[in-house]
Structures are given as structure tokens and as C-alpha cells.
Amino acid sequence: MASINVLLMDRGYLYVGLYPITTADRLANSNYANYQQLVKAEKMRFSNGESSLFLINSRENKALEARQKLIDLKAKYFQNCLRPSMKCRIAD
């Protein structure tokens, strides 16, 4: 556990490994990038006459949902770690 950073709080020790947070962030970024590629591919299929606007709209909605999940994840992280009353600091 020495390699995992730990958040120390004024009300005792709260062990929150930053590894899962960075992993979730990395996965959310990857999901969003993949959905963007699907939108681009679906638009290319549409231009070739092999798709429909419904499928493009569906892909765009999924990309927006993935982006919203990424934003929510980052917001929750910063809400929990940067709250002035919590006095969090990152330690080794």
C-alpha cells in the first residue's frame, strides 16, 4: 500500500486510494473517445448511404452521456477532496 496515495483528514484517517479514481477517470475518458469515434464512423456510413439519422442521433446521445459521466466523476472527486471544511491533503 506504500505506492498508493492516501487522503488524510482531520477526523482521523480516511484511506481513499487515488488509484481507483484515476482508473475510473481513464476509463471514462476512453469511453468518451470511443463514442466520438463511433459517431464519426456512423456519419461516414451515412454519407455512403448505409446508415440513418436515427443511428447518428443515437450515437451522439451515447457520446453525450459518456461525457456527462466523465464530468460527474470529476465533480464528485473535487467535491470530496477540495471541500474547505475537510482539510484534505495528499500524502505518500
For 56-69, what is the mean pLDDT?
96
| 68: confidence class by pLDDT, cuts 50, 70, 90 | very high
Give the C-alpha distances (Å, rounded to integers) separating 70 from 28, 40, 43, 63, 64: 5, 20, 24, 11, 10
Strand partners, 8: 13, 89
How much is the pTM? 0.66
| 31: confidence class by pLDDT, cuts 50, 70, 90 | very high
Asked if 17 and 5 touch (Cβ cutoff 8 Å), the reply is yes
- For residue 15, what pLDDT is reported? 42
| 85: confidence class by pLDDT, cuts 50, 70, 90 | low
| 83: confidence class by pLDDT, cuts 50, 70, 90 | low
